[in-house]
Homo-oligomer: A and B are copies of this chain.
Amino acid sequence: MRRLSLYLRQLEDMFRQGAKTVSSKQLGAALNVTDAQVRKDLAYFGQFGSPGIGYSVEDLVRRLRRILGTDSTWNVLLVGLGNLGAALAAYRGFERKGFRLVAVFDADSGKIGKPVPGLENVTVQAMHELADTVSRLDIRLGIIAVPAAAGQAVADALVTSGVSGILNFAPVNCAVPPYVVQASVDMAVQLEQLSFRVGANAEIDDAAG
């Protein structure tokens, strides 16, 4: 369920602010979701709450992490150290969520061998080292941050090297076998969705006067 991650993020936030318990209504209100929806989502994985009380924030955080698989750390690799890749490498939010960027690859020979800004003990590797590194460091997730034209080739290389999941920032649809999980984020597509919905909103307003 895609909402589970959002529940967890919100709950971690609430936990930092010292909240002990939370009701489905409170959690839902913070995320624009109905209380019934929250309860259905959580109940699907077991009995987490106490009638009359709500949910223990700390307990729920622990259980959600377990469900999402982030109660242990995942090793992650990145392909493509352009602007976006560099931003991802420097982002300090992954660590806290249970992900560790342990290897970075690029096709540009000018970058290979140099340290990755913002990452300790990681130097840029050549693409041909991919498979070796994946098995040596037990890497299961790969992030693609390369131009569209290179996307499919990199996806193929990741699949061959044995990763189980791919997060794809290249603005292209990459074909992967069904046993490999893929998520895609395309900035331009996101903006298009926005402009579409803004346009639709404007029409509704027009119709309403």
Q: Which A residues have a C-beta under 8 Å from some C-beta of B?
A: 2, 4-6, 8-10, 13, 30-31, 67-70, 74, 76, 82-84, 86-88, 90-91, 93-94, 97-99, 118, 140-141, 164-167, 171-173, 179, 181, 183, 185-199, 201-202, 205
A195/B74 in contact, CB under 8 A = yes
B8/A194 in contact, CB under 8 A = no
A31-B173, A69-B199, A195-B70 are contacts. A185–B185 as well, Cβ < 8 Å? yes
B189/A5 in contact, CB under 8 A = yes
A196/B93 in contact, CB under 8 A = no
- Minimal Cβ-Cβ distance residue in B for A179: B201
B8/A192 in contact, CB under 8 A = yes
In the assembled complex, the Cα of A35 lies from the Cα of B6 at a distance in Å of 32
Copies of chain A in the complex: 2
- Minimal Cβ-Cβ distance residue in B for A197: B181
A93-B188, A94-B187, A171-B9 are contacts. A141–B195 as well, Cβ < 8 Å? yes
B185/A190 in contact, CB under 8 A = yes
Which residues does chain B contribute within 8 Å of A69, judged by CB atoms? Answer: 195-196, 198-199
Q: Which residue of B2, B8, B87, B198 contacts A164 across the interface (Cβ within 8 Å)?
A: B198
Which residues does chain B contribute within 8 Å of A91, judged by CB atoms? Answer: 83-84, 187
A165-B195, A194-B165, A194-B167 are contacts. A188–B97 as well, Cβ < 8 Å? yes
A173/B9 in contact, CB under 8 A = yes
